[in-house]
Structure 1
Amino acid sequence: MKALTLLIALIGVVAAEVFLDERFSDGDAWEKRWIQSTNKGETAGKFVLTHGKFYGDAEKDLGIQTSQDARFYGLSTKFKPLSNKDKPLVLQFTVKHEQNIDCGGGYVKLFDCSLQQDDMHGDSPYLIMFGPDICGPSNKKVHVIFNYKGKNHLIKKEIRPKDDVYTHLYTLIVKPDQTYEVLIDNEKVESGDLESDWDFLPAKTIKDPAAKKPEDWDDRAKIDDPEDTKPADWDVPEHIADPEAKKPEDWDDEMDGEWEPAMIDNPAFKGEWKPKQIDNPAYKGVWVHPEIDNPEYAPDASIGKYDESCIIGFDLWQVKSGTIFDNVLVTDDIEEAKKIGDELWTATSKAEKKMKEAQEEEDRKKLEEEAKSKKEDNEDDDDEDEDDAEPSKPATPAEDADSADHDEL
């Protein structure tokens, strides 16, 4: 029995496969593997190879970066066809919004093998769309979209992306039992089952169309007190004439019309009278509409499972360019994906942040030195102005007397 268990485990290890592991680490060779879509013509943006302005490892952090503002980006690559009908599907990649993105996508799309790559565009049918999308401070989400029977279905849960300038690892795991996990930086941020978290299928139950609330059902928790009566002095006008108002002395009734004092709020006005509320002795509670099984509902074991996929791509719009994509992985091996994530993100993320902070400190010192130098220059200029404007010394009494004698002569 132990031998059989071991054999099954070994078969599972052998069967696990990495279908795509793109690290952009071989120079310009990536351009031969990835196909640029020409659908958008002159409005299409170009990807360039770079590790960015700050990074953790000059080689491991090489990726492709959006390089032009306000452009559509369409780029895809093909891999060996896979089916996730009986095994996990893992999509994983890193994205770095180095430009501190204000509006733009950072997601990938998984396609079947029929996609015409050089014509890929926003309406090209896809199987899965996954990754961060940011547009303004109030619209930041991680998309997890599945195509089911020709229709795209968005996840009902809200998944918040990372919105800083550093590299982050995004992972989607879809399991054969129709459960899923979303990981950011190799930490689980959401999970569940596909049927519950997407509206793929009609509801399991519906309100019984034959059921109706009984006519004598009283669902009023409170009612008017029948013994409460309105006080006799309750009804007074809301506004009254201002008792302090006086007719102006120059008021002419014939010319100005009949004088009327201004109206003011009546301090005795109490508003509309309503009887006090008491508990309703006939209250039966809130009537709940009975539900029945929905005849249109039927479970579907094919949700989230695709016979064949073999293309992954970026189909994006970015207002401000500068996003770097890297480490694109497609596999059926969950543990291998986590291992690669640790190798290519965990190992370099701290160093990347350290470099960024060092650059910021250097920039801060440079600004301080420039400000100090400018201040010193201004002080020197002020000293020179004071020297140029220095007044002559006042004349002494003897000099004044000499001047007076000279005037007399």
Structure 2
Amino acid sequence: MTAALEEKLLDLTANIENYVSATSDGLSLYQGHHLDKTYVLTPRAYKVPMRIEAVARTDSSNIRLKYGKGQIIFNWERNHDSLRCGEPSKGGAYNNMNGRIPINEWNHFVWEIEPDFMRVTVNGTERLFLKGKFSNVKGQAGIGSAFRSKVDIKSFRVAGEETDPPPAPLKPLMFEYDETHISVPQGSLETAVQWYSHHLGLEPKLGFGPCSLHPSMKGTLMQFPKGRGSLYLITVSEEPEHFQVNREQADHFHLQLMANDVKVAYDYAKDNGLHTSSLFEERGKVWFHLYDPYGNRLTVTQGKDSDGESAGSGIYGCVMPIVTVSDLERSVEWYTKVLGLKKSGRGSGDGDVLLRGINRHNGANVNILQLVHDPNCSNPTACRPGIRQYFFVERHNLKKAYQRAQKWCPLIAPLEDKSFHFYDPDGNRINVLS
């Protein structure tokens, strides 16, 4: 390594300093006990056109290149073949199946960003080409690891015009949306997987259980074909406070499923003896509630992007969960101030608001929740039903996140076992893990 190259690496700024160390090869990023995203950034920002060039290796998953609001993920923890892209202008998600790189081998990465397109290559082979409007993008460039991957960096170079003055330090990210978890009774996981597979078309992703919130928890990640959404089916062998589930109570949080034809899906449910609500038609929309064998409520809505592949019910995917609230304006303020979510202008309508945030597993800035106004929404008691929303907080931010929740929430559980829960103004439960 040349002296100039070594100096360039040492100029990079770590988001969590004690997770980064200098080695004979360059730098090493690793946190073996936590799931934190560890990365190093250039001290200055760069304008488009610009080019990032790095030589790095991973021992397992997750090498992540960062620039502006975007990132490129290789060896994604859920599927090494899936290249996950957040484009740098707005963080919009674009994915393909060119993400796999060899482990424990040095790889040469190049990310070129021009005003009207971007290109990513690995070892000289193009992995991604994307057209876009990037002329006004400027930001720091970086490289990192995640989900316990060990990433070694031999070189990291950036070519482009630097901005002046330097950007303000990055604010620590608090809450990232993890996944929708559906709890089923102990001993029911296998039959639950069969029910969700047969009637909804979900497929188990073997080897990808849920995060270890508690030693008693087991689960299966279920995915719709062609990346149309996913959820976790989980069960616990005991009921500590954080995982209590009262299956006799109504809930205000439920998952939205997409169907080719809602009325066909409704007829399928009736013909197969599935528990449903009535069929609702209002403001040009048609939907109904479908209940799994354990009382968990799923809302079936009309999809818009089916490619013809679906289960016998015609259900082919899921979209962001719904949270029903009694005062929409108050709830929007609460979710933005407490969880740091942003109101989305696109897709929000009369009586509902879409909220954007960071998806923990791919880093994309996307719509993650839909708040829907219901004037009859009543305050539930503390125990919640089996479908829950989970947010992830990196370990070094956990105490600060808890203090923020305490400030806004009179009802909050103690911080124990790297997790806690609290409630929005309508009693909808927010679960936090680290």
TM-score by length of 1: 0.34
TM-score by length of 2: 0.32
Max radius of gyration: which structure?
A: 1
Structure with greater contact order relative to length (CA < 8 Å, sep ≥ 6): 1
In terms of fraction of residues, the more strand-rich structure is 2
